[in-house]
Amino acid sequence: MAHAATHDHHDHHGAPKGFFQRWVMSTNHKDIGTLYLIFSLTMFFIGGAFAMVIRAELFKPGMQLVQPYFFNEMTTMHALVMIFGAIMPSFVGLANWMIPLMVGAPDMALPRMNNLSFWIMPFAFLLLLSTLFMPGGGPAGGWTMYPPLSLQGESVAYVIFAVHLMGISSIMGAINIIATILNMRAPGMDLLKMPVFVWSWLITAFLLIAVMPVLAGAVTMLLTDKYFGTNFFNAAGGGDPVLFQHIFWFFGHPEVYIMILPAFGIISEIIPTFARKPIFGYRAMVFAIASIAFLSFIVWAHHMFAVGLPMGAEIFFMYATMLIAVPTGVKVFNWVSTMWGGSMTFETPMLFSIAFVILFTIGGFSGLMLALAPADFQYHDTYFVVAHFHYVLVTGAAFSIMAAAYYWLPKWSGNMYSETWGKIHFWSSVISVNVLFFPQHFLGLAGMPRRIPDYNVAFANFNMISSIGGFWFGASQLIFLGVVIHCVFFSKKKAADRSWEGAKGLEWTVPSPAPFHTFDVPPVIHDDELAHGNTEH
């Protein structure tokens, strides 16, 4: 039906035949979405390889494998690659693929810019990763690039140029997403009928536009401090090293939510599908995302409780940070209420979503503890923090991306993935990730600082457990790769248009795989067909 509609009386045709034409010159939101997803999966494995080096060196006390400086390069690169290369682009990839399908638009609003914003990324990361092979090595001052330490590195200019490129890419991506959502919705797709995923991305895109220029400013000041004799952050020249931290975290905290709000959106799509019940409190979910986004601008100094802020500032940032627990709590309670009274099945996307809710909440608990400034004097810069942000970023953001991949793979590829192997991947990941990160809470509380290549023997047992979990989790992701490749190229099981029994929303009204062009004619919207069409409160 819809298939016929997409090919009716239009001079559109299928994908271009030539490889270069199709992928490098692409202006198609689906192909660019695929490119983003492949790129981010590649970066996930590269960043993962760096993590393996870190966990291998930390396997037991004593230095066995790498020099401390190289270890610092690994921690720095691991973070930069995972944040800017894996998590963020994969969300953009999902946005590219799904937002036009979810709002009934034929493509993204600005297709050529879409191409550019993707193709900047490989060059940015080539530049960043190439520093590892240069004399002087890659950046080793941490992904936060605090001066004066970061200015001691020889790769400053490369890293900063790479960050600028990533920022440009993100800003263009964000503009495109906002333009698409605000201008290209099918008639009848009111803002408050949009899927929560679309809402979460609309808000995230505004965060990106607001803070990426701030990061660009901060790193540009680093650049001029290093090469042009300015003294923004140089105390000897009247500058202030803490100024950098304020600017950086003014970017950095919204950045944290840039990496989690789309995850909230994904989970809010998947749980109703497999609970066969509409999302509980749709409007509250949207408002919660908006309030978290707002609060993200006024909490940045909670990353800096130990820099010696005046007490008034500590109190303000502590209260503001604690406040975030309220809308976040609403989201968690609403997900649980969505499940309550449903008719649940537990396919792989649902399993990842449930794990997300539980494990992200654990990350939220440690987040609440970290918000309490006096306790943070003890937690700050320890493995407790490492455990915290890996719970929210790995079992939070990364799990939501895997959930999304399993959820929409049938729509993308036209084939069903292997449910058995999907579940093996899930259970292997969810157990190993806890073996990996849970003991790090203990290490931090016992007194192990983060970013150290070697440690006292008191920390030996939990580090070894954590490393074993790390290798296991890393290996588990090869299963994911296998499942995806099998699904796309080898799976014999065709996916139905509505691939999941309880799935609602426009994306399930188009054929599987989604044809090259969809919604050339805006779809007629029936509120019952929408995931959130009947939310009249």
Residues involved in catalysis: 78, 107, 143, 169-170, 253, 255, 257, 268, 302-303, 328, 331, 450
Q: According to CB under 8 A, which residues from 413 to 442 bind other proteins? A: 442
Q: According to CB under 8 A, which residues from 163 to 222 bind other proteins? A: none
- Is position 365 an interface residue for other proteins (rule: CB under 8 A)? yes
- Is position 383 an interface residue for other proteins (rule: CB under 8 A)? no
- Is position 449 an interface residue for other proteins (rule: CB under 8 A)? yes
How near is the Cβ of 284 to other proteins at its closest, in Å?
6
Q: Which of 192, 235, 478, 524 binds other proteins (CB under 8 A)?
A: 235
Closest CA to 507 of 493, 519, 516: 519
Nearer residue to other proteins within complex by CB, 14 or 136: 136
- Is position 142 an interface residue for other proteins (rule: CB under 8 A)? yes
Q: According to CB under 8 A, which residues from 495 to 514 bind other proteins? A: 502
Q: Which of 134, 315, 478, 485 binds other proteins (CB under 8 A)?
A: 315
- Is position 239 an interface residue for other proteins (rule: CB under 8 A)? yes
- Is position 77 an interface residue for other proteins (rule: CB under 8 A)? no
Stretch that binds other proteins, among 55-63, 160-168, 198-206, 474-482 (CB under 8 A): 55-63
DSSP 208: H
- Is position 462 an interface residue for other proteins (rule: CB under 8 A)? yes
Q: Give the C-alpha distances (Å, rounded to integers) separating 164 from 161, 258, 355.
A: 5, 17, 35
- Is position 451 an interface residue for other proteins (rule: CB under 8 A)? yes
- Is position 55 an interface residue for other proteins (rule: CB under 8 A)? no
Q: Classify burial at 1, counting beta carbons within 10 Å of its beta carbon; exposed 0-12, middle 13-18, buried 19 or more.
A: exposed
Stretch that binds other proteins, among 1-9, 67-75, 212-220, 491-499 (CB under 8 A): 67-75
Which residues, listed in sequence order, are joined to residue 382 by a DSSP beta bridge?
A: 449
Nearer residue to other proteins within complex by CB, 334 or 415: 334
Residue 252 neighbours by CB distance under 10 Å: 20
How far is it, in rounded angstroms, from Cα 141 to Cα 153?
8
How near is the Cβ of 353 to other proteins at its closest, in Å?
11
Task: Supply angle C-alpha 99, 100, 105, rounded to 5.
Answer: 145
How far is it, in rounded angstroms, from Cα 277 to Cα 341?
8
Residue 524 neighbours by CB distance under 10 Å: 11
Q: Which of 111, 122, 217, 241 binds other proteins (CB under 8 A)?
A: 241
Where helices occur in 233-310 by DSSP H, the ranges are: 241-258, 261-275, 282-295
How far is it, in rounded angstroms, from Cα 470 to Cα 466?
6
- Positive or negative, the Cα torsion across 191, 514, 120, 115? negative
- Is position 13 an interface residue for other proteins (rule: CB under 8 A)? no
Closest CA to 399 of 442, 361, 455: 361
How far is it, in rounded angstroms, from Cα 295 to Cα 313?
16
Residue 224 neighbours by CB distance under 10 Å: 12
How far is it, in rounded angstroms, from Cα 495 to Cα 413?
8
How near is the Cβ of 495 to other proteins at its closest, in Å?
20
Q: Classify burial at 17, counting beta carbons within 10 Å of its beta carbon; exposed 0-12, middle 13-18, buried 19 or more.
A: exposed
Where helices occur in 131-195 by DSSP H, the ranges are: 156-183
How far is it, in rounded angstroms, from Cα 174 to Cα 532?
24
Instruction: Say if residues 188 and 95 touch (Cβ distance below 8 Å).
Output: no
- Is position 308 an interface residue for other proteins (rule: CB under 8 A)? yes
Nearer residue to other proteins within complex by CB, 31 or 73: 73
Which residues, listed in sequence order, are joined to residue 415 by a DSSP beta bridge?
A: 494
How far is it, in rounded angstroms, from Cα 357 to Cα 343?
18
Nearer residue to other proteins within complex by CB, 72 or 115: 72
Q: According to CB under 8 A, which residues from 258 to 277 bind other proteins? A: 275-277
Nearer residue to other proteins within complex by CB, 109 or 159: 159
Stretch that binds other proteins, among 105-113, 217-225, 258-266, 460-468 (CB under 8 A): 460-468
Nearer residue to other proteins within complex by CB, 127 or 263: 263
- Is position 149 an interface residue for other proteins (rule: CB under 8 A)? yes
How near is the Cβ of 95 to other proteins at its closest, in Å?
25
Nearer residue to other proteins within complex by CB, 369 or 488: 369
Nearer residue to other proteins within complex by CB, 64 or 224: 64
Q: According to CB under 8 A, which residues from 319 to 338 bind other proteins? A: 319, 322-323, 325-326, 329-330, 332-334, 336-338
Contacts of 256 (CB under 8 A, 6+ apart): 296, 392
How near is the Cβ of 261 to other proteins at its closest, in Å?
19
Q: According to CB under 8 A, which residues from 280 to 299 bind other proteins? A: 280-282, 284
Site size toward other proteins (CB under 8 A) is 100
How far is it, in rounded angstroms, from Cα 134 to Cα 156?
12
Q: Which of 176, 200, 348, 361 binds other proteins (CB under 8 A)?
A: 361
- Is position 463 an interface residue for other proteins (rule: CB under 8 A)? no
- Is position 279 an interface residue for other proteins (rule: CB under 8 A)? yes
- Is position 401 an interface residue for other proteins (rule: CB under 8 A)? no
Instruction: Say if residues 470 and 436 touch (Cβ distance below 8 Å).
Output: yes
How near is the Cβ of 413 to other proteins at its closest, in Å?
26
